[in-house]
Structure 1
Amino acid sequence: MRLMLMLSAAVLLTSCDPPVRHSEAEDIAEDHAEAAAAKVRAQVEELESRVEEIKSKLERSTSDVSALQGQVNHNARIANENARIENEAAAAAMTKRGACGYETVQLENGGTIYRPRQCTIADLKQ
């Protein structure tokens, strides 16, 4: 019995609301659709802004990488030149102390002398 009363009360309460007209339902649906579309447009604009920001950062990073690569190349040239100079100095020191042996040299007056053979950079590896 109580269940019957509760069900009938629920039916009476719902039947008290006036029926929604078709045009009102369309207006409500349009409002919801416009709100959802505005929200989506805002999200799209935010994402496009993020994409532009990322593109800008990528361009700066690419520029920075190019500049760093230029510095690395410059430093490598300097290091190679310094190594060449050090190797030549080491070869000259080896020549001076006779580390590469001696050679016979014919003088213009017909005499001969022994002098240290000229060491090369290849001799440094031996």
Structure 2
Amino acid sequence: MAKVAFACQTSEPKDEEVYQMIDRVIYELYGEKGLAAIIKRGYKVIIKVNMVGPNMGLRGEKGRSIITDPRIVRYVAEKVRDIIGFDGKADLKVVDGVFSRDPNPSSKWNNGSFYWARLERTGDNLVNQEDF
């Protein structure tokens, strides 16, 4: 049977609270080893997000509660990258089905793209303000 863990908050969590919830869920699922219990150095990993209507919502809150929270994606991706590294065949991709013929899934001209979900590619592996 598959394992499932949950974390919840009764109010909008601050970034640090999001990270603590993720750490708690990972610990519940995999114990002390965390994600290293299932992911090893050099692995290829895909993180599948849900981008349903990233362009929907009020100004300044586009996609909120509709898509996977970018803070979760970023934090989990950083944890995965720390484990798999950058050498050899190690690879990390964040994916979802983007319904567009545009070859760039991060195009800001496509309102269903990773750009509007605040998950666009920036060309480097650094965490910068423009990555959100």
TM-score by length of 2: 0.18
Structure with the larger RCO, 1 or 2 (CA within 8 Å, 6+ apart): 2
More helix by share: 1
Whose Rg is larger? Answer: 1
